[in-house]
Amino acid sequence: MSAPRVAQLNESDWRVFANLRLRALADTLGTDDPQYRQEMSFTAAQWRRRLRVHAQFAAAIDDHLVGLVGAQRESVESVYLYSLWVAPSARGHDLAAALLTAAVHWARAQRARMVTLRVNEDNAAARAVYERLGFGVAEANGKTAGHANEITMSLSVG
């Protein structure tokens, strides 16, 4: 197995992105989920737009795409990371950390001062990765408004 590679996708990668995103949704939510069905019907223009307005990072091992994370500007000073996914067959190889590190580097290049994300409070494995990279719980009560089972974590990058 070769070392994992992480790269930012661009608009010309829309087919690759669409395939990877749909794999991630099918794995995490199932093909009957409304989010999966909605994105399954996206046009090429919609996939390109997502790549244009949000940074998307993909991880590959031996030329097989096995991970994805998105990043978007929330404000001049803040970047939000979302939809981190690693294929079940590739878990346990620290790909989540590699993807997150690429997204955090991008946030620094954007001159953001803070990177935030949300995670299910019971997802100990994900929380351990985030904490190892320096993320901490951002809110005193640990809950995110409107997301009862999630906590917000943040990392100062500026």
Residue 134's domain is classified under what CATH number?
Answer: 3.40.630.30
- Percent of the chain at pLDDT > 90 equals 82
pLDDT, one tens digit per residue, over 90-104 is 998 889 999 999 999
Residue 144 pLDDT more than 80?
A: no
Specify the 3-state DSSP secondary structure of 134: coil
Distance in angstroms (rounded) separating the CA atoms of residues 87 and 85: 7
Tally of structural domains, the chain: 1
Distance in angstroms (rounded) separating the CA atoms of residues 45 and 38: 14
Specify the 3-state DSSP secondary structure of 78: strand
Domain span at residue 42? 5-156
Q: What confidence score (pLDDT) does residue 140 get?
A: 41
**pLDDT mean over 145-158:** 81
- CB 27 within 8 Å of CB 88: yes
pLDDT, one tens digit per residue, over 48-67 is 999 999 999 999 998 899 99
* DSSP state string for 53-87: HSEEEEEEETTEEEEEEEEEESSSSEEEEEEEEE-
By CB neighbour count within 10 A (0-12 exposed, 13-18 middle, 19+ buried), where does 95 fall? buried
Q: Which residue has the tokens 């190889």?
A: 93
Residue 42 pLDDT more than 70?
A: yes
CA atoms within 13 A on the CB side of 36: 14
